[in-house]
Amino acid sequence: MTVTRLLARPLLASTFIVGGVHALRNADALAAKARPVTDKVAPAAAKAAPQVPVPQDAKTLVRINAGVQVVAGLALATNRQPRLAATLLAATLVPTTAVGHRFWEESDPTEKRHEMALFFKNVSLFGGTLLAAVDTDGKPGLAWRAQHGAGQARREVRRAAKSAKREAKLARAQVG
C-alpha cells in the first residue's frame, strides 16, 4: 500500500467514526430531527422491498446508520475491505445529508449558509468515498479480472482446437 493510501484512508474514515459515535450517543435528539424524513422514507422502503424488515422507528434507523458509519469507518481506516467500507460510507451519507443539512428550509441567512456549507462538505465526502470505493490499490478489480479471464479462456480454447486439428491431421497421415 502506498503512503498516500496509508494516510488518506484513515483521514477519510475519521469523520465517519466520530460522526457515528456522536449519533449513537445522541440518537434521541437526532431521531427527532430525522423523523420528518424517516416517516416518509421508511414506509416507502418497506413497500418497495416487502421481504426486507425495514425498521419504522426513527431512533432505530439513526442507530443503524451510525453503526454502519463506525464499523465501515474503522474498516476503511484499518484497510479491511476498503472498497466495501467506502461504498457503505457513501451510502450512509445520503440519509445523513438529507436529514441533517436541509439548508433550503432555513430562514435565518447565517444558519442557512452554515447548513449549506455542511451540505456541500458531505457532498465532497460522498465524492471522496466514491473514489475510495473504486480504488483497486493498484490491483485489478473483479470486473477487470472477469473480462480478462474470459478473453484468456477464449484464447486457450482456440489454441487447444488448433492443436487438436494439427494432431488429428498428423494421426491421419500416419494411418494413411
Q: 147 and 61, same structural domain?
A: no
Confidence check: pLDDT of 137 > 80: no
Q: 91 and 31, same structural domain?
A: yes
Q: Using 50, 70 and 90 to split pLDDT, how confident is the model at 119?
A: very high
**Which of these, 73, 86, 115, lies nearest to 98 by C-alpha position?**
115
Q: 146 and 112, same structural domain?
A: no
Q: 152 and 114, same structural domain?
A: no
Number of domains in the chain: 2
pLDDT (0 to 100) of residue 129: 95
Q: 144 and 128, same structural domain?
A: no
- pLDDT, tens digit, 9 for 90 and up, residues 63-105: 999 999 999 999 999 999 999 999 999 999 999 998 889 899 8
pLDDT (0 to 100) of residue 132: 93
pTM tops 0.85, yes or no: no
Query: Cα–Cα distance between 142 and 147 in angstroms, integer?
Result: 8
Confidence check: pLDDT of 140 > 80: no
User: 64-76: b or e for each residue (b if 16 or more CB lie within 10 Å)?
Assistant: ebbebbbbbbbbb
Q: 134 and 144, same structural domain?
A: no
Range of the domain at 75: 3-139
Comparing 13-17, 57-61, 143-147, which segment has the lowest mean pLDDT?
143-147
